[in-house]
Amino acid sequence: MNNKLSFGEIKKAMNFSSLCDPAGIRTQDPYIKSVLLYQLSYGIENDSKNISENLSDPAGIRTQDPYIKSVLLYQLSYGIKTLSQMRMQNYEINPTMPRLFLKLLLFFLLFFFQIADSKAQNDVAKKADSLFSAKKYSEAANIYELIFKDNQVNKPNISLKLAYIYESLGDFPKAIYYLNNYYNLNPDDEVFEKMNKMALENKFTGFERSDLNFILVLYQQFYIFILYSVILIGIFILIILFRKKIYNKKILRRHLILVGLFIVFLLVFINVPNTYQSAIINKSTYFREYPSSGSPIIGSIEKGNKINIFGQEDIWLKVLWNRKIVYIHKNDTWILNG
């Protein structure tokens, strides 16, 4: 049985852009892209031999640029993990092989790649910081945006730097998007005033200090604390009811109704974060009456404005606009981090 994956099989499983960029880093450097493609295809054809020794340079390309090496290491670690998962489908695992050995092997591989990812990520972040210090803002922004989606990075720091960069470059919609991300992570009156001033100067709406926005920000900031407090109250109520049951004390009907309402409130409170979000419009677009491109247009909105999202149906976001429930295409927005 031939267990080797051909280049055609890989190309079928992943599109060309993913092959050049398996970690989701959309580098614009054609040299890096060509090196990635050559190295990854070489690794596929040679059955990924000696991965641990040649991870940063499996094709024998001895680049001396530490940035390129760090990007290669970060991307190829993702690519190799993906290839490993695909190869497992082509092998018949011996049923007599101890499950413990397989689990330990999997744990070791995940641990190894996690270390490789962290090291490469730090190298990439340092490169971005050096470009920022050198005032090469466009190049720094490209790298910061690549690593921004990773939850392990310092998002408040990167958000603030990206906001500064795009304000300097005159791209105010992106500047206010990253400034709002920073505000959501670290609510501060000074940051809010800066954000509100930028919105007023550029005629962006949705950033004003309304009661709804204030409540939603507090909700996002203290969600965990409120949730734990509500759960503790619920446990306390259940203990009281349980003790009454043990000692054969009568439980009044109104108390049972209150417990039912409390449970409903708790379920709603837990599920609100899954439906509520905020977003910045990334291009001029339209509001639709129904979640369909063929639905009647009932309004429009310009780039840079902020909207509150209360649900989603497929690729359509449910938005409250002019006291109406309307729909907008997800690709026309930048979703803010909660």
How does pLDDT run across 208-244, given as a tens digit for each residue? 776 666 676 677 667 788 888 888 988 888 888 888 8
How high is the pLDDT of residue 121? 59
CB atoms within 10 A of CB 257: 10
Q: Is there a domain that residue 151 lies in?
A: yes
Looking at the structure, tell me whether residues 23 and 118 fall in a common domain: yes
Rounded to two decimals, the pTM is 0.58
Q: Any idea which residue has 């070791």 for tokens?
A: 108
How high is the pLDDT of residue 75? 56
Eight-class DSSP state of 64: -
Q: Which domain holds residue 78?
A: 7-126
Q: Is there a domain that residue 202 lies in?
A: no
| Of the listed ranges 125-129, 171-175, 179-183, 279-283, the one predicted with least confidence | 125-129
Q: Is there a domain that residue 206 lies in?
A: no
Looking at the structure, tell me whether residues 236 and 288 fall in a common domain: no
How would you list the strands of the sheet with 316-321, edge to edge?
Answer: 297-301, 285-288, 324-329, 316-321, 306-313, 277-281, 333-335
Which of 74, 70, 87, 78 shows the shortest CA–CA distance to 22?
Answer: 78
102 band by pLDDT with thresholds 50, 70 and 90: low
How high is the pLDDT of residue 212? 66
326 band by pLDDT with thresholds 50, 70 and 90: very high
How high is the pLDDT of residue 50? 46
Looking at the structure, tell me whether residues 233 and 320 fall in a common domain: no
Query: pLDDT averaged over the chain?
Result: 74
15 band by pLDDT with thresholds 50, 70 and 90: very low
Q: Where does a domain end: 73, 108, 126? A: 126
The yes-or-no verdict on residue 334 having pLDDT over 90 is yes
How high is the pLDDT of residue 12? 46
The yes-or-no verdict on residue 172 having pLDDT over 60 is yes
**What CATH number does residue 321 fall under?**
2.30.30.40
Looking at the structure, tell me whether residues 91 and 180 fall in a common domain: no
The span from the CA of 175 to the CA of 209, in Å, is 19
The yes-or-no verdict on residue 115 having pLDDT over 70 is no
Looking at the structure, tell me whether residues 326 and 223 fall in a common domain: no
Eight-class DSSP state of 250: P
How high is the pLDDT of residue 249? 84
